[in-house]
Amino acid sequence: MAANRPTIKDVAALAGVSKSLVSLAMRGSDRVSAESRAAIIEAATQLSYRPNAAARSLADRRSHTLGVIVLDLLNPIYAEIIDGVQGEVRQHGYHTMLVTGNDNPIIEQSEVEKLLEFQVEGLVLIGHRMPAGSLDAIEGDCPAVVISRAERGIAGLDSISNDDVLGARMAVDHLVSLGHQSIAHVTGGINEVAMLRKFGYEQSMTDHGLADQIACYEGAFTDEGGYRGAAVALDSNRRHTALFVANDIAAVGALAAVADRGLNVPTDISIVGYDGMALAGLRSLSISTIAQPLARIGAEAASLLFLRIGDPTRPPAHIGVEPRLIVRNSSGPCHT
């Protein structure tokens, strides 16, 4: 561990120039003579000089850093979104500060606070839990974009999400095209996204003249929730031939419920999930699903943020991305 970290002054002294010139050179200005530049680079590497980001961001009044707060790292779909964000951010030469809310609004709030103290230039919220009031407060302070939660209500924030209603309709359309009629829905609980998916399901069923076949079973966005909902569906006296489950994780649970009853997927019953998490594609699961373009959502969120940073007065935008059907082995023709 060397004594004290070398500063720009040390480099200047060693190279025999002024600190200002070193500053210029380090940032690759073209107003530096070739000789000076060479001497400076030489000195810098010799001292293994590393600019101090704190000092820089203080002087510059820009941190070149974006804050990303994610509801919960454990859900694999968030990880995929984050990857998208990071890629885009890197391209802009920015840096990312990533924190988790641990599914806890208090922690979430305080982490956001910390990010703001670090003078992040923008905030990406991935599936937050904050009350609208806090969001408004943030918005006054710092450009922000919200992912994966419909935020039509909140005026000032950019947001991006997939079209859950459309996606749900696609799931039903797919099952209908396979000849299914008694298509049940295992819901994702009481939250906006789940509601939209349920709504899409009902809409499409009705459009196909299957309104009388509509059947919703209460579930949740978890393995456990999917299992419960599917179990009730399967044990009912209605002979459902297909299940549209509110998300992929829940679909994994539903798969287990089917297996527990000695039934086969897709011969006895078809299953379609939602989200397109990589995991659902593993061969043991091979769940048909409505995929969100997760990485693209992350990337678009980041570029939206850069747009707003560039022009804080631009009107808030909402980007909707299209979900896409991925057919795997969990859905097949209706056999009754």
Residue ranges that bind DNA, judged by CB under 7 A: 4-5, 7-9, 17-21, 23-24, 26-27, 31-33, 35-36, 49-52, 55-56, 58-61
Rounded least distance, CB 116 to a copy of itself, Å = 6
CB of 67 vs DNA, minimal distance in Å: 18
Q: CA 164 to CA 13: how far, in whole Å? A: 61
Q: Report, in Å, the least distance between residue 5 CB and a copy of itself.
A: 8
Alpha carbon distance 244, 105 (integer Å):
31
CA distances to 42, 50, 161 from 47, rounded to whole Å, are: 9, 9, 48
- Which of a copy of itself, DNA, none is residue 18 near (CB under 5 to 8 Å by kind)? DNA
Place of tokens 């060479």: 38
> Which listed option, DNA, a copy of itself, none, makes contact with residue 118 (CB within 5 to 8 Å by class)?
a copy of itself
For residue 154, give both structure tokens: 């909140």
Rama region for 276: left / alpha / beta (φ>0; ψ in -120 to 50; rest): left
Measured from the CB of residue 60, what is the shortest distance to DNA in angstroms? 4
174 vs 217: CA distance, rounded Å: 20
* CA separation for the pair 218, 228 (Å, rounded): 8
Task: Provide the minimum distance between the beta carbon of 24 and a copy of itself in the complex, in angstroms, as a whole number.
Answer: 18
Q: Residues with Cβ < 8 Å from 201, sequence gap 6 or more?
A: 168, 169, 171, 172, 185, 214, 216, 244
19 binds, among a copy of itself, DNA, none (CB under 5 to 8 A by kind): DNA
Residues of this chain that interact with a copy of itself (CB under 8 A) are 1-2, 48, 50-55, 57-58, 63, 73-74, 76, 79-80, 82-83, 86-87, 90, 95-100, 102, 107, 113-114, 116-119, 140-141, 223, 227, 249, 252-253, 255-256, 259, 278-279, 282-286, 312
211 binding partner (options DNA, a copy of itself, none; Cβ < 5 to 8 Å by kind): none
